[in-house]
Amino acid sequence: MNQADLSKLVSALRIAVKPKPRLLSCPEGPAGRLKKLRATVTALVKYERIELNYPRADEAQGYAERLISDAIRNGDCHKHTMEMADYWLNEKQLVHKLFKVLVPRYQNYNSSFTRLVLGPKTYPGYYAGTAILELKGNPFPALQPENHNYHYWLHNVLLEEAKKEFRSAREERNAGTTESVTTES
């Protein structure tokens, strides 16, 4: 029996998308909400890193992931994918960037295509909940430095050995005081 490849039939998003959309306040109603999200997805594809408030970044991340996932899965010859790219990207030259730059970049990715990092808290004052939404593999420097293993640096090795010596001396001293207390009684 000839079975179809499930990866071509089912979109495999690598982030959790909430079943209900966020209630983003917009005086223009649902159409204004979609307009804001389209502008956000367009800016993300154009600049590859944007800073905005957390609820909108979290909501737009799902739409950007889905757009890139469909572009990878179906390619630029698929009518529905082209309509979705045309809808979500306000600037039409970004459709070309989506298929010619981003699709080859993410072709072999096993993780999500976007990264959402909480922005800095301004102190003192009201924390507005900013976030940085970026496409992975962008040309900008990393937001979070790589974690290095500093365990084997010379001063850390020396401090670790000094701690061991101090603990062993303390244990010997405590053992000596408990022996003298038991012999006296």
**What residues does each domain of the chain span?**
7-135, 147-184
Amino acid at 43: A
Per-residue pLDDT of 93-146, as tens digits, reads: 999 999 999 999 999 988 899 999 988 777 776 666 889 999 999 989 888 777
> Other C-beta atoms within 10 Å of 85: how many?
22
| Nearest CA-CA partner of 107 in 51, 67, 69 | 69
How would you class 61 by CB atoms within 10 Å of its CB: exposed for 0-12, middle for 13-18, buried for 19 or more?
buried
Whole-structure pTM value: 0.70
- CATH fold of 7-135: 50s Ribosomal Protein L17; Chain: A, (3.90.1030)
**Number of Cα atoms under 13 Å in the Cβ half of residue 120:** 5
Q: 17 versus 149: which is more confidently predicted?
A: 149
Which region holds residue 48: left if phi is over 0, alpha if psi is between -120 and 50, else beta?
Answer: left
